[in-house]
Amino acid sequence: MEFAVESLETPALTKAQLAELLFEQIGLNKRESKDMIDAFFDLISDSLVEGRDVKISGFGNFQIRTKAPRPGRNPRTGEAIPIQARRVVTFHASHKLKEQIQGEQDVPDMA
């Protein structure tokens, strides 16, 4: 599966590119592809907002973590600023994904 990267500085796979891949490789029409991608990410977002972790087998886990309030510092002025408690999303790649990523680095380029 190959896709064109629109920016060399930040290579990213976008939702539009995912929908295009569904259109090309599975045969869904473009509207169905876009709706499926949107529904997929809405399900993940809604689950995380509700405080439920999301586990995708062979890919990784998205988890909600509550960070406690702590003292911070403005790096420009040095002024002490309190940082409020907040919830953050963390992602932990599965072993399978980690192995795939490491395997890509181990393959020598035969150009």
Boundaries of every domain in the chain = 13-52, 53-73+80-106
CATH match of 13-52 with 4.10.520.10? yes
Same fold, 13-52 and 53-73+80-106: yes
- DSSP letter for each residue of 53-76: -EEETTTEEEEEEEEPPEEEE-TT
| Mean pLDDT across 2-13 | 64
The whole-number pLDDT of residue 28 equals: 87
Q: What is the mean pLDDT of the chain?
A: 88
Give the tens place of pLDDT for each residue, 44-62: 999 999 999 999 999 999 9
- Both tokens assigned to 60: 């990784």
Pick the CATH number of 53-73+80-106 from 4.10.520.10, 3.40.50.10470, 3.40.50.720, 1.10.357.10: 4.10.520.10
